[in-house]
Structure 1
Amino acid sequence: MADMPLILHFILSAIATVGFSVFFQVPKDSLFPCGLIGGIGWTLYVYLFKVTDNGVFSAFIAASLLSLCSEILARKLKQPAILFVIPGIIPLVPGLGMYNTMLYLVQGDYNLGISTGTNTLFIAAAIALGVLVITSLSKTINLVELRKKRALNKH
């Protein structure tokens, strides 16, 4: 990652997220929140990666926060959470790792290709797991609250 200030990482990733949001036909009033979520997620990833030098951990925490912010905004803006999650995780997707994996394999450097591919796979899994954990937790909390309301209405 280039030595850029975190604010520049935030701005550029927010712009990229808004671009993908337009591509995914997100409603216009949700473009700014999508950009905000994508910027926060990527900036946290960059910060944690610089501190820990662990891409898998950084991706998991960033995806978890991104998913949590998406769930909160979904409730406030009365939109589905996936509307914010999908464009928001785009900056986190390890595209360079996928490219380098294929490049090393085509060049015949199998050890480096397998190593890079494994790391890329773990980062992708960490992103998916971060989103899955928060989404499942959110759905569980919503179900518990719904059951409490139903129980109160019966009495």
Structure 2
Amino acid sequence: MDWLLLEKCIWFGLAATGFAVLFNVPVKNLPAIYLMGAAGGFTKVFTMHLGTNIVFGSLYGATVVGFLSIYFAHRRHSPPPVLAIPAVIPMIPGILAYKMIIGLIKLAGEVQPDTYSQILSETVNNGLKVMFILMCLAGGVAIPMLITRKESAKELKFKRKG
């Protein structure tokens, strides 16, 4: 296993835990959020390492977080979004959004005609990636909750070992 992949997994988990603390999530849920953030980040980075693009990698990672949030919601007696949202926030593509905004600022200023189309192309590319990644994060978290929802996450029955 690549150590850089493991390191990113650790940082995804720590970032998720940090957002959970920022949102005042109960302390009993912090280990679950760490594991979900690490698992979602690992899934995203690992699938990208295998050749998947960042949009589908984000979808796969968010889907893992979505299914894990249902499991941990049952175990921790908490609503699934309380667990899923902090775990998926570290997957938001901040650098792409930053590059898009910088590109828009450059386009608003005086730009040489020969570089205008290149800047426009990069800005639109970054903006579309951000939009699709955010849609995939929202869908990846929401769809497992919608699929498994009957009355409440508390109503789901999981078999216990032992």
What's the TM-score once normalised by structure 1's chain length?
0.85
Distance 2:129 2:12 in 1: 22
Aligned position for 1:54 = 53
Matches within 5 A, 1:20-35: 20-35=19-34
Aligned position for 1:117 = 127
The structure in which a higher percent of residues are helix is: 1
Aligned position for 2:91 = 92
The correspondence for 1:134, drawn from 139, 144, 153, is: 144
Aligned position for 1:68 = 67
* Misfit runs of 4+, over 6 Å: none
The alignment-based identity, stated in percent, is 26
Unaligned runs of 5+ in 1: 147-155
Aligned to 2:50, what secondary structure does the other structure show? helix
Contact 2:28–2:76 at 8 Å: present in 1 too?
A: no
Unaligned runs of 5+ in 2: 108-118, 156-162
1:80 is the counterpart of 2:44: no
Distance 2:141 2:52 in 1: 21
**Structure 1 pair 4–120 and aligned structure 2 pair: CA distance change class (3 A):** farther
Residue 76 of structure 1 deviates from its aligned partner by 1.1
Residue 87 of structure 1 deviates from its aligned partner by 0.4
Per-residue Cα deviation, 1:34-93 (whole angstroms, up to 9, x for no partner): 111111101110111111241111111111111000000000111111111110001111
Residue correspondences, number: 141
Which protein has greater RCO, CA pairs closer than 8 Å, 6+ apart?
A: 2
RMSD: 1.6
Per-residue Cα deviation, 1:78-122 (whole angstroms, up to 9, x for no partner): 111111111000111111111111111212222210111011111
Distance 2:32 2:15 in 1: 13
